[in-house]
Structure 1
Amino acid sequence: MAKYQNLVDQLKRQIQSGIWNPGDKLPSLRKQSEHSGMSLMTVLHAYQLLESQGWITSQARSGYKVAPRFKKQQQVQMAVSRTENVDVNEFIFEILQAGKNPLMVNFGFAYPSPDLYPRYHINRALSAAARNMPISSAFNNLPPGNEQLRSIIAKRYTTRGIEISPDEIVITAGALEALNLSLQACTKPGDCVVVESPTFYGALQSLQRLGLKALSVRTDPTTGIDIDSLERALQTHDVKACWLMSNHQNPLGFTLSDEKKKQIVELLQRYNVALIEDDVYSELYEGNEPVSSMKMYDQSGNIMLCSSFSKSLVAGLRIGWVVAGKRSFDIQKLQLMSTLATSAPIQMALVHYLTSRNYESHLKQLRKKLHERKSKMADFLSTLLPESVKVVNQKGGYFLWLELPKNIDAMQIYQDMLKANVSIAPGKMFDVTEQYNHCIRLNASFELDQQRAEALTTLSNSIIHHMNE
């Protein structure tokens, strides 16, 4: 197929799916040529063919626009949504505070069930680190962090086919600090940052705190972020960074295919946009084959890979890291100006545990239990809920995503459940628009005992009640 025909087909597809709307101005011939790698004449040929077929129109000194008669079909979700001022923190704070009630059955909890953690071994490692901590430990654990811990993390990445030097790794106080430092290293207040729609609420809180603008890009519950919509966002806005989860995404649960991971990296490199890869769930894959990270395809050092031990070991340790690429020194300096350093005793305790205990054995058991519990909860919900409620259960991770009929407001169900001492995570937490008000995220890492079965029955009854109103 001729190159110009590929571009013609791509633009037709994008117009039909609502990525380009009637009246939208297409990228100029020069910009389209730069980003597609095609010659100016090839792009001009494609645009002229689209114009002759009535898909687009041209105006002197105004370029090309989508023709008015090509109305997009009603979309489930907007392709790209820009939010000038992200304002979610107060709402999210209220929901997280409500979940702290000790009597609560907590399906809104973000971490795996505490009974899955190897508490005894971790406590012993903490005691050993405290007893043996040298006087110089505070200096040895300053940014970029404990050298032995960074070496262990780098070696673990080699098993996933990612060659990383320990010198690229900066140890942080949890993954969220790694993600925030990465954002600060490549943006300034007022810049545009691409996020998935829906996305992890921590990303929205970070954008709000740093005064950044959110570009929410359409994301499918099964296949992940829409590549065409992502490219449109890059073409039409001065994007500085892109914050994505490629494995077991929170809240939807999908894992991007290796081919799609590679396509995203190539696309962002072409537009010179930094990628912040939130990879905290990558150890929680299902089966025997580990998942890859987008960092594997990085040729420019423009990807910052962030992760932690919070989801795979113990949440309270608050130890994360960023594989910072070319921004390693920038992130170290930012950390010195904010938290100064990550806890030296905790870093040393992790080194002690990872070198003296069978972490792989723990992970194997963790993955098995998460798969069993999630499958059991998904099956149970399927017996309780009508067919019009979609239970999205992806491989790996521990979240379920419920899609209710669009006329149902999940916040009303959230309020019903609070009165019954049950917490859920309403879809409104994960987007700055109103597109997911009918959705619910559930934590499926807990054992489905009688109390939780009764709580899910109460949830299902509330959903059915609101559907029948």
Structure 2
Amino acid sequence: MKRYERLANQITELIERGDLPPGARIPSVRAACRAWGVSAATVFRAYYLLENRGLIKALPRSGYFVSATAKELPAQKSRASCSAGTKAVNISELVFDVLRTTKRAETIALGSAFMSPTLFPMARVGKSCATVNRSMDLATMVAGLPPGHEGLRQQISLRYLMAGMTVPVDEIIITSGALEALTLSVQLLTDPGDVIVIEKPTFYAALQAIQRLGLNVVEIPVDPVTGHDLEALARALQHHPVRACWFMTSFHNPTGVTLDDSRKQALVDLLASHDVPLIEDDVYSELHFGAAPTRPAKFFDRKGLVIHCGSFAKCLAPGYRVGWAAGGRFAGALEREKWMTTLSASVPAQRAIADYLEHGGYDRFLHKLRRELARQQSQMLDAIGRYFPANTRATRADGGYFTWVELPHYIDSVRLFQAALDSGISVAPGPIFSADGAFRQYVRLNYGYQWSPQLDKAVATLGALCADESRCGAKLAGPVRAP
């Protein structure tokens, strides 16, 4: 996708959502050049495209304005049609309803994608931040530009070494969180209309990125016990022009399952035989409950086809938005992609995390965190066993902080989500984890919060709601789609 097309699509999204209502002035060409870091020619081409779509109009000596008829126009569709067996992604409003609940301080956040901030050493990380800020001058500010702060990249390389892997510092690109690393990777490897393979179920942020980039997908099943269906993947590679795969092979979100080493090796070998890159989302790698770290698929990569993406948001410093990609053969191209987008993750945040990794006792903290999460998992599963209907099934992962709960067949998780909110509790209903709204009998629950009588009561309330077919029954909500 050309830069002017990307800019036009961003403005189109704002108009279609109503953030830029009819009659609203959009940024001048000069202001747009400053805001997006593009040339005037790029802005003009984007605005011409928006005019052709009927979304904006130019008024002489006044600027550009959203057309009065913009809201009446149908949403723009990808120019490429789906091939047989693939599908476009269309994220429902339900995802955003769930995300908005995570911002409510009064809600018990069992549907959140985040752990409790009280579990993290924020005061100690803040001390590192203060230390590096005192010693930072203007000359060091540019040290965080792509590929990122050298000291932080060295520390990440050491973490790989401790996990039995050799990843050169030159292969590591610092990003603004793991989601940017993942999105830059798929953006680098694909064009609008291309086909990628994703998991079913998958993390909803992957679906959001794929929709924004105009890609088509083939979904392969992920079993909560055995993991990814490699036979289904082999068929997809045989019958579709797959450009990349986007998988979470360890502590999968939402199921929690981890592929064993032999299946990870088989996955990497299968993709290598088709020369298809793997974008590996591995943000929970440090949260293993066993004594030894879990090996990522990247461990078995011999051709540089695996782009391994990680983050400190889930294991050390939420809110600092520091992640990375170990790009393999794509490292140089990813670095250029970073230059052309957000330019740099926060330089003070990069330096602070590097200082903490070197001096702050990271492994001691992780050891304590893993024990706490394992204890909280046991407490959550025990409460589900006590309060939910007898035919409920919840996964027990070897790490992370999610359990994937299969509800009785008569329960609709969307109605449960709505009923739970009335009681001040959020859950993540199954349909947000697939491109077609499947998994209506499932919810994802977060046990990344210290157990308390309040949490116990919340699980009891959810169990009571699951027994109330009049409020949460699937029959009243229409047919349930099979996952």
Say if 2:189 is the partner of 1:186: yes
Distance 2:328 2:218 in 1: 24
**Paired position in structure 2 for 1:35:** none
**Aligned position for 1:448:** 451
Matched residue type, 2:216: K
Residue 433 of structure 1: how far off its partner (Å): 2.1
User: What is the alpha-carbon distance in structure 2 between the residues aligned to residue 396 and residue 158 of structure 1?
Assistant: 20
Q: Per-residue CA shift, 1:166-208, capped at 9, x if unaligned?
A: 0000000000000001101111111111111000111101101
On the 8 A contact 2:195/2:242 being kept in 1, the answer is: yes
Of residues 140, 148, 153, the one that matches 1:150 is 153
Poorly superposed stretches of 4+, deviation over 6 Å? none
1: CA distance, partners of 2:93 / 2:425: 21
1:369-448 alignment runs, 5 A limit: 369-448=372-451
Asked if 1:258 corresponds to 2:270, the answer is: no
CA contact (8 A) 2:388 2:460 kept: no
Matched letter for residue 401 of structure 1: W
Among 220, 245, 262, which residue is 1:217 paired with?
220
Q: Is the 8 A contact 2:411 2:441 kept in 1?
A: yes
**Residue from 278, 282, 302 that aligns with 2:281:** 278
Aligned to 1:135: 138
Hey, what's the Cα distance between the residues in 1 that align with 2:285 and 2:155? 16
Q: Secondary structure at the match of 2:286?
A: coil
Measured in 2, the distance between the counterparts of 1:98 and 1:285 equals 28
Which residue does 2:464 correspond to in 1?
A: 461
Structure 2 counterpart of 1:441, one-letter code: R
Q: Equivalent pairs: percent with the same residue?
A: 39
Structure 1 unaligned runs (5+)? Answer: 1-80
What does residue 240 of structure 1 align with?
243
- Which of the residues 202, 206, 211 maps onto 1:203? 206
Give CA-to-partner distance per residue, 1:89-127, whole Å, 9 cap, x none: 643122111231111000011111111100110111111
Whether the aligned pair in 2 keeps the contact of 1:89 and 1:205 (CA below 8 Å) is: no
Please report the TM-score for the alignment, with normalisation by the length of structure 2: 0.79
Task: Tell me which residue corresponds to 1:328.
Answer: 331
Aligned counterpart in structure 2 of residue 304 of structure 1, from 304, 307, 320 = 307
2:361 aligned with 1:346:
no
My pick for the range that moved more, 271-280 or 393-402, is 393-402
Task: Report the Cα offset of residue 85 of structure 1.
Answer: 2.1
Q: Indicate whether 1:231 and 2:225 are aligned.
A: no
Residue in structure 1 matching 2:177, options 134, 151, 174: 174
Letter matched to residue 93 of structure 1: F
1:22 paired residue number: none
Letter in 1 for 2:401: Y
User: Given residue 331 of structure 2, which amino acid in structure 1 is its aligned partner?
Assistant: S
- Higher mean C-alpha deviation, range 359-368 or range 405-414: 405-414
- Aligned partners of 1:157 and 1:164 also within 8 Å: yes
Q: TM-score, normalised by structure 1?
A: 0.81
Separation in 2, partners of 1:404, 1:369: 26
Cα deviation code 1:357-406 (max 9, x no counterpart): 10000000000000001111101110112221111122211101110133
Q: Contact conserved, 1:106 with 1:423, CA < 8 A, in 2?
A: yes
State the distance in 2 between where 1:224 and 1:131 align.
47
Contact 2:389/2:466 (<8 A) preserved = no
Q: Which amino acid aligns with 1:163?
A: T
Q: Distance in 2 between matches of 1:432 and 1:360?
A: 38
- What's the offset of the Cα at 1:82? 4.6
Q: Give me the whole-angstrom Cα distance separating, in 1, the residues matched to 2:388 and 2:423.
A: 19
* Correspondence 1:159 to 2:154: no
Q: Which amino acid aligns with 1:98?
A: T
Q: Give 1:429 shift.
A: 1.1
Return 5+ residue gaps in structure 2 as ranges: 1-83, 476-483
SS of equivalent to 2:138: coil
1:349 aligns to what SS in structure 2?
helix
Residue 83 of structure 1 contacts residue 432 of structure 1 at CA under 8 Å; is this kept in 2? no
Q: Deviations over 1:129-175 (max 9, x none)?
A: 21111221222111000111111101110111111100000000000
Which amino acid in structure 1 is aligned with residue 436 of structure 2?
T
Question: Compared with structure 1, are the counterparts of its residues 405 and 231 closer, same or farther at alpha carbon in structure 2 (3 Å cutoff)?
Answer: same
Paired residue type of 1:239: V
